[in-house]
A and B are shown apart, each in its own frame.
Chain A
Amino acid sequence: MNTMTSAPARQIVVVGNGMVGARFAGEAARLDPAGERAHITVVGQESEPAYNRVLLSGIVADDYTPDQIRLPVPDTPGVTIRTGTAATAIDTQQHTLALDDGTHLTYDELVLATGARASFPPITGVAHPDGTPGEGVTALRDLADCQRLLSLVRPGAPVVVLGGGVLGLEAARGLTSRGARVSVVESSPWIMRRQIDKPAAKILGRLYGELGVTVHSWRVASRWIPGTGLELDDGRILPGDVLVVTAGVRGNIELAQSAGIETDHGIVIDDHLSTSDPRVHAIGDCAQHPGGGAGLVQPGWEQAAVLAKRLIGTDPSAAYRGSTPVTRLKAEGIELTSFGTVHEDDDHPDLDTVTVSDPHGGRYAKLVVRDERVVGAVLLGFPEAAATVSQLHDTGAPVPADRLALVQGLPTAAPQDDPADSGESLVCRCNAVTRTDIEQAWLDGARDREAVACSTRATTGCGGCVRDVNALLADLNSANPAPTG
């Protein structure tokens, strides 16, 4: 027991009880289980407990139920969670945070994990003037959006997804599982424009087509007509009872902005995850780090872990230096992994690129290598290779010599000087018994397996060679009938 007088716990206030804010609280609780170093208050606007937003498309697909995607709540004395409470203003001079119930929280450190919201493109009918979604329109950003979508979707009815990025494509796949007829509209030249190259997108589009999803790339929508569908710039109308808008997000930066904290697209942070105010930190989708990485959960969780170490003081020098996250499409029946540099010209002098294209088989692989390291990949329909390649990328390990075997997920060809090849093949590995040994035993009179086992020990280990030994004996016995008597 520490009898020294210790300083009172510091107050850390977290704004946002989403995936990243809750993760920060969890990491901090793990580092400081008794809450001796810091007391953490998490303020969340939603009345729901924190949940795993990454799996919302799984709810759309009916793979998950809402109660299955809840995030763990730290059960420690050092953490308080206040749901249904919004932060309204930061006073960086007084170190206080104003809440919408009229109260204030005082902080030593403030963590902004306010996330992002769906951005509705300026298309007639998509959004009301106050920014709320139009009739028959929904985003897919939170559980309420998800519930709204599912209340609108009926089996057999048409749905339009506006935005052919990862979330849009996952939603489209999930909606087909619920029996919807889905169209996807993407304003870029191809779907998943940021993550994959055009040939991959073409094959991915074909795969979606086979699932009954029509993909319209490089098409701009001009009007949402409730009850009818989405009108495109070429005058076509895609039928739709529902419009799902997955066309990008905007960081929730207003709270920081009005407190005079530096913002750009997001709240500007450095490698210490601090904003222009050193007592205010930002992590996750609301934050903008020079290394990029917003939009996926992995960088947000990495940031939460680093900031927890810094603020709890277990590793005050911890730093976040950006990350190149791996994109993994979660769509049943489609295996797509991509990361890093995939858009460079194939004849770029520093890059070696392996490309395998198999439109008929619905497969495509691109492996981009610089200085023997994987710097980018698109793997569509190569699930076994994807795991290996993305780990090579994460660890910075050099690529194997046979790069084609790598993308195909095959083991490297066996070396010429095979170690096991000592000229004699083992029949019983456990007891190192060769074919010759068994033949000799037969010559010495062993006619059945028991007798062979007695003289050679074959089959007495794992027993995996019983069949082989029996077959060998059958051959020997039939070729040379045992003398009778």
Chain B
Amino acid sequence: MTQAPSTRTHCPYCALQCAMHLQPADDGTLTARPADFPTNRGGLCRKGWTSAEVLTVPDRLTRPLMRKDRNADLVEVDWNTALDHIAERLLTLRAESGPDTVSVFGSGGLTNEKSYALGKFARLALGTSQIDYNGRFCMSSAAAGSVKAFGLDRGMPFPLTDVGTCEVVLLAGANPAETMPPMMGHLSAPTLIVIDPRRSATAQAALAGGGMHLAPRPGTDLALALGLLHAAHIGGHTDRDYVAARTTGFDHTWEHAAAWWPERTEQVTGVPATQIRAAADLLGQAAAHRSAYILTGRGTEQHSKGTDTVSAWINLALALGLPGRQGSGYGCITGQGNGQGGREHGQKADQLPGYRKIDDPAARAHVAGVWGVDPDTLPGPGRSAFELLDALGDGGGPRAMLLFGSNPVVSAPDTDRVRARIASLDFLVAADFVLSETAAMADVVLPTAQWAEESGTMTNLEGRILRRSRATAPPAGVRTDLEILSALATRLGQPAQRFPTDPDTVLAELGRASSGGVADYSGATPQRLDDGEALYWPVRADSAPTPRLFLDSFAHPDGRARFHSVEHRPPAEDTDPDYPLLATTGRLMGHYQSGAQTRRVDELTAAEPDAYVEVHPDTAARAGLTHGQWARLTSRRGHTRARVRLTPTARLDTVFVPFHYAGEQSANNLTNPALDPTSRMPEFKVAAVRLEPDPAP
């Protein structure tokens, strides 16, 4: 008997979007194995290898759930009952409190087609301005920094394969060895400089390869970036011709960096001045050969000054002459599977498709034209993610929320507060494939298809548009997000043809809506995708894609990149005698985001069954804790439980907790919702805490 044909697609998890084959067994269940592709080079991590198991988890939802009122249990109902109920409640609430009383919360995990359709649904079917997504917790600082500097944000404005051939890569707050292991294949040849308070797996790889690990106190990356710019400039590494020809604003930026001589930087960051000078020289020498990259990750971005910190890293890259040249550059390492495409097509509060701004009259006119509506009927900008969550219910904002592909009671900062706000809603709808922690609070839960059960496109961390293929049919009773949006839209009075359910039809419309925009997808046709063409946006119809941006000019009207002067400031809260340690949060190899998927895979759960806290042995001993004991971490907002993991290389003042766990083990019980003034990114990476033995057995 011949084996059934496998389906070539991409992994459901992170933005590396590793290619994989899904091989059906005789009983129809799928098994994943790696496929060759430039980003993963035939590799997969544990999450990818086990990804197909999530399709058949025992608690997979296959029928809509609904509760009569807040005190009743969720019970199975048929689709019409669920959808009719949702429409009726939304219309009632809208009649009572206006269109902005219904909100939408999306995800960087949704396909481009779903992101686009969700934004359109919010603006047309609901008429609400209140839409944002969990990508606000990921990419917004890097996106804001890139837009300021370059006039455009594409995470990596170059193919990842370019990085593999350079001499030196500086990774600021990025830990790909843990979070996207196959990416390390591109980082094995270059010498690495890793900036991370922890001796992470990536930091260990850097040291093993003759590179450097700089371990700043959490919340001081911005000072370190200024110190590196100072040392690089004084070390003679500034590319003066490039700065003169291709940038503006260096002199003013230098005046701020001039106050960060290495010894002062050392005192604020805890990074020895000798290391600062050595790192600047290492990077500067590679830059002189046009062979260096600076890449940032969430570690440096998820702060209340994340945008300024990204600007500081970009300033360093610009001074060294890296961006806009083949063989060197600045990029951010996008995290969520469609963190790139998800921020381009209108599920952000301030945005319309094509990375257009919703307050730009020309953008409104164009998109309204594609949608066949009067531009004046489009709502304006709404609240950003945390502000939206914090405004829900008794927060004085929306009374209802529709949730797609997100689990904010685990992934948002200060989860106690977010949970209370969500609980105070009049009406919550969650579309999910399992009963996630947030879905469990909903009034109606709609079972949705998973990645291998539908097709669509994703845009990976390089800005390359990829085809995700359907490998199997959804379980009976499950619908796709596009089908759900269409069914709801018609019940809310929209013409059916306005919300197609076929992904390719939506992609074609997305192409028209994005045409002429910054992120132009009009040339991303199913044919070109199926032919395997490397479609880096912008890709216009009948024209070549753009693997490398900025080679001739940057996206500002004058064609120049802009230095953006920034000043260091302390984190929103610092240590004090009651909260003497800094907690920083992050990811583990075996889990993804809130863990709603990966915590359901036996192999992954067995590897890391519980939350743990990484702590220096002395710091643990002072708290009366030894290895393996349950500890309680308490911040000004809440507390969490985690097992002690002694880590001799840890900073004495810093503990690390992964955030994939829920409930009493949720790291986000601790985190601080202080927001970046530009990107509205919460401060996930610094919270003042104390460490104690857990009182519960």
Q: Footprint of B on A, CB under 8 Å?
A: 30, 52, 54-55, 58, 63-64, 68-73, 75, 298, 326, 328, 330, 335, 383-384, 386-388, 390-392, 394-395, 397-398, 400-402, 411-415, 417, 419, 429-432, 454, 457, 459-464
Contacts and interface: CB of A to CB of B under 8 A. Distances in A.
Contact of A72 (B565, B617, B627): B565
Interface string B170-214: 000000110001111100100000000000010001000000000
A388 B652 contact: yes
A391 B177 contact: no
A462 B176 CA distance: 9
A470 to B, nearest CB: 14
Contacts of B177: 462, 464
Contacts of B607: 432
Contacts of B258: 52, 55, 68-72
B575 interface: yes
27 contacts: A52-B259, A58-B261, A68-B233, A68-B234, A70-B258, A71-B259, A72-B255, A72-B259, A383-B272, A383-B273, A384-B272, A384-B275, A390-B266, A397-B575, A412-B616, A412-B618, A415-B646, A417-B628, A430-B46, A430-B589, A459-B43, A461-B44, A461-B184, A462-B177, A462-B181, A462-B182, A463-B182
Interface string B607-631: 1000000001110011000111000
A462 B184 contact: yes
B271 A387 contact: yes
B234 A64 contact: yes
A337 B364 CA distance: 59
B641 interface: no
Given A72-B256, A328-B263, 5 more contacts: A394-B267, A397-B580, A454-B33, A460-B42, A462-B184
B627 A431 contact: no
A41 B185 CA distance: 57
B649 interface: yes
Contact of A391 (B217, B622, B628, B645): B217
Contacts of B270: 387-388, 391
Contacts of A69: 258
A429 to B, nearest CB: 7
Interface string B28-67: 0000011000000111111001000000000000000000
Nearest to B33: A454
A36 to B, nearest CB: 18
Nearest to A382: B272
Interface string B6-21: 0000000000000000
B274 interface: yes
Nearest to A70: B255
A409 to B, nearest CB: 8
B426 interface: no
Contacts of B621: 401
B346 to A, nearest CB: 30
Which 6 A-B pairs have CB atoms at the shortest separation, nearest pair first? A462-B184, A461-B181, A72-B255, A462-B181, A400-B618, A328-B263
Contacts of B264: 54, 298, 328
Nearest to B274: A383
B409 to A, nearest CB: 30
Contacts of B217: 391
B559 interface: no
Contacts of A384: 272, 274-275
A411 B648 CA distance: 6
Contacts of B580: 395, 397
B254 interface: yes
B573 interface: no
A133 B92 CA distance: 86
Interface string B511-522: 000000000000
B528 interface: no
Contacts of B616: 400, 412
Contact of A464 (B46, B184, B274): B184
Contacts of B34: 460
A71 B184 contact: no
A417 B627 contact: yes
Contacts of A392: 652
A292 B622 CA distance: 33
Nearest to B580: A397
Contacts of B648: 411-415
Interface in B264-321: 264, 266-267, 269-275
B694 interface: no
Contacts of B273: 328, 335, 383, 387
| Most chain A beta carbons < 10 A, residue from B176, B275, B618 | B618
A405 to B, nearest CB: 10
Contacts of A431: 45-46, 49
B184 A463 contact: yes
A461 B40 CA distance: 9
A70 B254 CA distance: 9
B627 A30 contact: no
Contacts of B188: 463-464
B162 interface: no
A72 B652 contact: no
Given A63-B234, A328-B267, A430-B181, A461 B46 contact: yes
